Amino acid sequence: MTTIRLASRRDRYGVAAMMQRSWIDAYPPMVPARHMRRDKARGIERWLAERMKWPGYRALTIGAPRSPLGVCAFFPVRPGLFEIDLMFVAPGARSAGVGSALLSQAIATIEERHAACRLWVGTRNTRAKRWYVRHGFVHTGLKAHLRWNGFMWQVDEMHRRVVSPRVSGGDRPVMPEPACPAPGEGRERGSDPRP
Protein backbone atom coordinates (compact mmCIF):
# COMPACT_ATOMS: atom_id res chain seq x y z
CA MET A 1 0.00 0.00 0.00
CA THR A 2 1.16 3.54 -0.75
CA THR A 3 2.46 5.66 2.12
CA ILE A 4 0.08 7.70 4.26
CA ARG A 5 0.99 11.39 4.26
CA LEU A 6 -0.38 14.77 5.22
CA ALA A 7 -2.49 16.26 2.46
CA SER A 8 -1.20 19.52 1.00
CA ARG A 9 -2.63 22.23 -1.26
CA ARG A 10 -1.81 20.19 -4.33
CA ASP A 11 -3.94 17.30 -3.01
CA ARG A 12 -7.12 19.32 -2.52
CA TYR A 13 -8.74 18.92 -5.94
CA GLY A 14 -7.96 15.19 -6.20
CA VAL A 15 -9.27 14.59 -2.67
CA ALA A 16 -12.41 16.64 -3.42
CA ALA A 17 -13.11 14.75 -6.65
CA MET A 18 -12.59 11.41 -4.87
CA MET A 19 -14.92 12.52 -2.06
CA GLN A 20 -17.59 13.41 -4.63
CA ARG A 21 -17.29 10.00 -6.37
CA SER A 22 -17.35 8.20 -3.03
CA TRP A 23 -20.38 10.18 -1.85
CA ILE A 24 -22.35 9.45 -5.03
CA ASP A 25 -21.42 5.76 -4.84
CA ALA A 26 -22.21 5.23 -1.15
CA TYR A 27 -25.22 7.39 -0.31
CA PRO A 28 -28.00 7.11 -2.93
CA PRO A 29 -30.19 4.96 -0.66
CA MET A 30 -29.96 7.58 2.11
CA VAL A 31 -29.98 10.93 0.30
CA PRO A 32 -32.42 12.00 -2.46
CA ALA A 33 -30.75 12.06 -5.90
CA ARG A 34 -31.45 15.77 -6.42
CA HIS A 35 -29.15 16.52 -3.46
CA MET A 36 -26.34 14.23 -4.61
CA ARG A 37 -25.26 15.95 -7.83
CA ARG A 38 -25.39 19.60 -6.78
CA ASP A 39 -22.06 19.53 -5.05
CA LYS A 40 -19.25 19.73 -7.57
CA ALA A 41 -15.64 18.85 -6.83
CA ARG A 42 -14.54 22.52 -7.02
CA GLY A 43 -17.07 23.43 -4.32
CA ILE A 44 -15.79 20.63 -2.09
CA GLU A 45 -12.23 21.76 -2.82
CA ARG A 46 -13.04 25.30 -1.59
CA TRP A 47 -14.77 23.87 1.49
CA LEU A 48 -11.71 21.67 2.19
CA ALA A 49 -9.31 24.61 1.66
CA GLU A 50 -11.17 26.54 4.38
CA ARG A 51 -11.09 23.56 6.72
CA MET A 52 -7.35 23.11 6.23
CA LYS A 53 -6.84 26.64 7.62
CA TRP A 54 -8.34 25.68 10.99
CA PRO A 55 -5.79 25.46 13.82
CA GLY A 56 -4.63 21.88 14.24
CA TYR A 57 -6.61 20.55 11.25
CA ARG A 58 -4.87 17.55 9.67
CA ALA A 59 -5.90 15.63 6.55
CA LEU A 60 -4.18 12.32 5.87
CA THR A 61 -4.26 10.80 2.41
CA ILE A 62 -2.95 7.82 0.47
CA GLY A 63 -2.15 7.86 -3.24
CA ALA A 64 -1.13 10.40 -5.85
CA PRO A 65 -2.39 14.00 -5.52
CA ARG A 66 -4.68 13.71 -8.57
CA SER A 67 -5.90 10.19 -7.77
CA PRO A 68 -6.00 9.61 -4.00
CA LEU A 69 -7.30 6.33 -2.62
CA GLY A 70 -8.70 7.87 0.54
CA VAL A 71 -8.69 10.70 3.06
CA CYS A 72 -9.13 10.95 6.82
CA ALA A 73 -9.13 14.40 8.44
CA PHE A 74 -9.35 15.44 12.08
CA PHE A 75 -9.05 18.51 14.28
CA PRO A 76 -8.93 19.41 17.99
CA VAL A 77 -12.33 20.34 19.44
CA ARG A 78 -10.98 21.14 22.91
CA PRO A 79 -8.13 19.85 25.08
CA GLY A 80 -8.45 16.08 25.30
CA LEU A 81 -10.88 15.69 22.38
CA PHE A 82 -10.43 15.55 18.60
CA GLU A 83 -13.09 15.10 15.94
CA ILE A 84 -12.72 12.88 12.88
CA ASP A 85 -14.07 15.28 10.27
CA LEU A 86 -13.73 13.28 7.03
CA MET A 87 -13.38 9.61 6.24
CA PHE A 88 -13.70 8.79 2.54
CA VAL A 89 -12.29 5.95 0.45
CA ALA A 90 -12.37 5.88 -3.35
CA PRO A 91 -15.03 3.43 -4.58
CA GLY A 92 -12.42 1.23 -6.31
CA ALA A 93 -10.26 1.04 -3.17
CA ARG A 94 -12.93 -0.11 -0.71
CA SER A 95 -12.30 -3.33 1.23
CA ALA A 96 -8.57 -3.07 0.51
CA GLY A 97 -7.55 -1.75 3.95
CA VAL A 98 -7.19 1.90 2.84
CA GLY A 99 -9.80 3.23 5.27
CA SER A 100 -8.48 1.14 8.16
CA ALA A 101 -4.92 2.32 7.51
CA LEU A 102 -5.97 5.98 7.39
CA LEU A 103 -8.20 5.77 10.46
CA SER A 104 -5.56 3.84 12.43
CA GLN A 105 -2.96 6.51 11.64
CA ALA A 106 -5.37 9.30 12.65
CA ILE A 107 -6.19 7.51 15.92
CA ALA A 108 -2.50 6.95 16.67
CA THR A 109 -1.77 10.66 16.07
CA ILE A 110 -4.68 11.67 18.33
CA GLU A 111 -3.68 9.23 21.08
CA GLU A 112 -0.10 10.55 21.01
CA ARG A 113 -1.71 13.75 22.28
CA HIS A 114 -3.48 11.76 25.04
CA ALA A 115 -6.85 12.69 23.57
CA ALA A 116 -10.06 10.85 22.78
CA CYS A 117 -11.83 11.25 19.47
CA ARG A 118 -15.38 11.49 18.25
CA LEU A 119 -17.09 11.50 14.91
CA TRP A 120 -20.54 12.01 13.46
CA VAL A 121 -21.98 9.41 11.13
CA GLY A 122 -25.25 9.39 9.18
CA THR A 123 -27.98 7.79 11.29
CA ARG A 124 -29.00 5.53 8.40
CA ASN A 125 -25.42 4.65 7.45
CA THR A 126 -25.36 1.27 9.21
CA ARG A 127 -22.41 -0.04 7.19
CA ALA A 128 -20.19 2.84 8.35
CA LYS A 129 -21.41 2.51 11.94
CA ARG A 130 -20.47 -1.18 12.03
CA TRP A 131 -17.06 -0.33 10.56
CA TYR A 132 -16.41 2.33 13.22
CA VAL A 133 -17.46 -0.07 16.00
CA ARG A 134 -14.86 -2.56 14.70
CA HIS A 135 -12.32 0.26 15.09
CA GLY A 136 -13.16 0.87 18.74
CA PHE A 137 -15.87 3.55 18.52
CA VAL A 138 -19.01 3.38 20.65
CA HIS A 139 -22.37 5.07 20.20
CA THR A 140 -23.01 7.91 22.66
CA GLY A 141 -26.74 8.27 21.97
CA LEU A 142 -26.37 11.91 20.92
CA LYS A 143 -27.98 12.87 17.62
CA ALA A 144 -27.72 16.10 15.64
CA HIS A 145 -28.93 17.52 12.35
CA LEU A 146 -26.75 19.03 9.63
CA ARG A 147 -28.01 20.97 6.65
CA TRP A 148 -26.14 20.11 3.48
CA ASN A 149 -27.07 21.27 0.02
CA GLY A 150 -30.69 21.82 1.04
CA PHE A 151 -30.93 18.39 2.69
CA MET A 152 -31.36 17.89 6.44
CA TRP A 153 -29.02 15.08 7.46
CA GLN A 154 -29.45 13.31 10.81
CA VAL A 155 -26.17 12.16 12.34
CA ASP A 156 -25.19 10.10 15.38
CA GLU A 157 -22.18 10.76 17.56
CA MET A 158 -19.63 8.03 18.21
CA HIS A 159 -16.60 8.21 20.55
CA ARG A 160 -13.37 6.31 20.86
CA ARG A 161 -11.85 6.09 24.29
CA VAL A 162 -8.29 7.10 25.09
CA VAL A 163 -6.21 3.97 25.64
CA SER A 164 -3.59 5.89 27.63
CA PRO A 165 -2.80 7.57 29.96
CA ARG A 166 -4.24 5.60 32.82
CA VAL A 167 -6.42 7.18 35.47
CA SER A 168 -4.61 7.50 38.81
CA GLY A 169 -5.48 4.65 41.17
CA GLY A 170 -6.88 2.40 38.45
CA ASP A 171 -6.43 1.07 35.00
CA ARG A 172 -9.60 2.11 33.22
CA PRO A 173 -9.27 4.19 30.07
CA VAL A 174 -10.02 7.90 30.16
CA MET A 175 -13.35 8.86 28.55
CA PRO A 176 -13.91 12.43 27.42
CA GLU A 177 -16.55 14.63 28.97
CA PRO A 178 -20.08 14.07 27.68
CA ALA A 179 -20.65 15.24 24.16
CA CYS A 180 -21.09 18.90 23.49
CA PRO A 181 -23.26 20.75 20.96
CA ALA A 182 -23.74 19.72 17.38
CA PRO A 183 -20.90 18.78 15.02
CA GLY A 184 -18.17 21.34 14.49
CA GLU A 185 -18.69 23.18 17.77
CA GLY A 186 -20.45 26.18 16.25
CA ARG A 187 -18.46 26.31 13.02
CA GLU A 188 -20.41 27.03 9.85
CA ARG A 189 -22.21 23.87 8.82
CA GLY A 190 -24.29 25.12 5.88
CA SER A 191 -22.18 23.50 3.16
CA ASP A 192 -20.85 20.50 5.04
CA PRO A 193 -20.62 17.50 2.67
CA ARG A 194 -19.70 15.16 5.51
CA PRO A 195 -22.21 12.45 6.47
Contacts of 157 (CB under 8 A, 6+ apart): 118, 119, 120, 139, 140, 141, 142, 143, 144, 179
pLDDT of residue 148: 67
Task: List the beta strands (DSSP E) in 103-161.
Answer: 116-122, 137-148, 151-160
**Which of these, 80, 73, 94, lies nearest to 8 by C-alpha position?**
73
The residues, ordered by sequence, that sit 6+ positions from 55 with a Cβ below 8 Å of its Cβ are 75, 76
> pLDDT tens digit string along 110-139?
999 999 999 999 888 899 999 999 999 999
> CA dist 122 to 55, 96, 171, Å?
26, 23, 33
pLDDT of residue 179: 41
Whole-structure pTM value: 0.78
Instruction: Return the pLDDT at 195.
Output: 42
Which residues, given as ranges, of the chain have pLDDT below 70? 1, 28-40, 148-150, 163-195
User: What structural domains and CATH numbers belong to the chain?
Assistant: 4-174 (3.40.630.30)
